[in-house]
Amino acid sequence: MKLVFLGPPGAGKGTQAERICEKYGLVHISTGDMLREQIEAQTDIGRLAGELINRGELVPDEVVIRMVMDRIAMNDANRGFILDGFPRTVAQAEKLPEFIDVDLVVNIDVPMEKLIHRITNRRSCPHCDIVYNIAVHKAEICDKCGRQLVLRDDDTPEVAMERFHVYRARTLPIINYYEAKNVLVHVNGDQVVEAVTDEIVREIEKGCL
Ligand code: AP5
């Protein structure tokens, strides 16, 4: 199974990708996570990505495409995967069929006015990488290891507004691209996490199994 999860910043792509990967034994390939690992490791890609991400801008297509292609070529990806955060531009979407055929593209719809709250309420555990919504979770401590949760550098209201702007200009056109290819389904991301997962599972079972 080769799936793509699309949606604006904060729509729940990462949250849902984790849950669906666990259910079907797929590999979660998140370009945002991969870039943050490069930043942490202070590589050349990380230095470039860090500046762009903290301004809410996209990392250049050629850098991200190479990173994803190398990841897809790794052995564990043979069991199937979810691409989360890729493709994000039409150029990236047009490159993908040179490497793989996508089975299903899931677009997670959430009204724009809700997204800013999800983003500014997001905290993650630096140790376990678990992501929380503190409006729901309430405590700023990780349930699993007890460490203090942290805010992502690009989750400030100012940077989030720029990310929404970039999403509308650069990523929304991909929806038309995949609609024309008849592989796109929309799910309602404005429900509790479990209900969104159930809707995605129904679409996968109709479209891929
Ligand atoms: P990336 O990390 O991919 O960020 P994003 O697309 O902006 O998405 P987010 O991670 O913000 O949100 P999400 O949809 O995964 O939501 P989540 O599940 O966390 O990319 C970061 C940056 O890297 C980009 O800006 C760009 O610079 C660069 N980049 C990445 N890929 C690139 C590419 N292909 N090309 C170029 N540049 C690239 O959920 C959000 C919050 O809501 C959490 O707190 C969660 O707990 C909560 N939540 C989730 N679902 C629900 C629900 N149903 N109800 C209530 N709360 C919920």
Q: Which of 58, 152, 153, 171 to mutate to test the pocket of ligand 1 (most atoms within 8 A of CB)?
A: 58
Ligand 1 nearest-atom number relative to CA 132: 46
Ligand 1 nearest-atom number relative to CA 195: 53
Which of 2, 95, 152, 170 is the catalytic position?
152
Report the candidate in 105, 103, 72 with the shortest Cα–Cα distance to residue 4: 105
User: DSSP alpha helices (H): ranges in 25-131?
Assistant: 31-40, 44-55, 61-72, 90-95, 112-120
* Coil, helix or strand at residue 156: coil
The structure tokens listed for 4 are: 């793509």
Q: Is the sign of the CA dihedral 188, 193, 194, 198 positive or negative?
A: positive
Question: What pLDDT is stored for residue 139 in this prediction?
Answer: 85
Question: What pLDDT is stored for residue 137 in this prediction?
Answer: 86
Question: What pLDDT is stored for residue 124 in this prediction?
Answer: 93
Residues of the chain with pLDDT under 70: 209
Give the separation between CA 5 and CA 168, rounded to whole angstroms.
16
Question: What pLDDT is stored for residue 193 in this prediction?
Answer: 96
| pLDDT tens, position by position, 3-51 | 999 999 999 999 999 999 999 999 999 999 999 999 999 999 999 999 9
Question: What pLDDT is stored for residue 116 in this prediction?
Answer: 95
Q: How many CB atoms lie within 10 A of CB 22?
A: 11
- Is 7 near ligand 1, meaning CB less than 6 Å away? yes
Give the separation between CA 133 and CA 119, rounded to whole angstroms.
8
Taking a C-beta distance cutoff of 8 angstroms, is the pair 59, 53 a contact? yes
How much distance in Å is there from the Cα of 99 to the middle of ligand 1?
A: 24
How much distance in Å is there from the Cα of 32 to the middle of ligand 1?
A: 8
> Which residues are CB-neighbours of 70 under 8 A, at least 6 positions away?
none
Question: What pLDDT is stored for residue 64 in this prediction?
Answer: 98
Ligand 1 nearest-atom number relative to CA 30: 3
Question: What pLDDT is stored for residue 138 in this prediction?
Answer: 83
Tell me which DSSP letter residue 57 carries: P
- Is 19 near ligand 1, meaning CB less than 6 Å away? no
13 catalytic residue (yes or no): yes
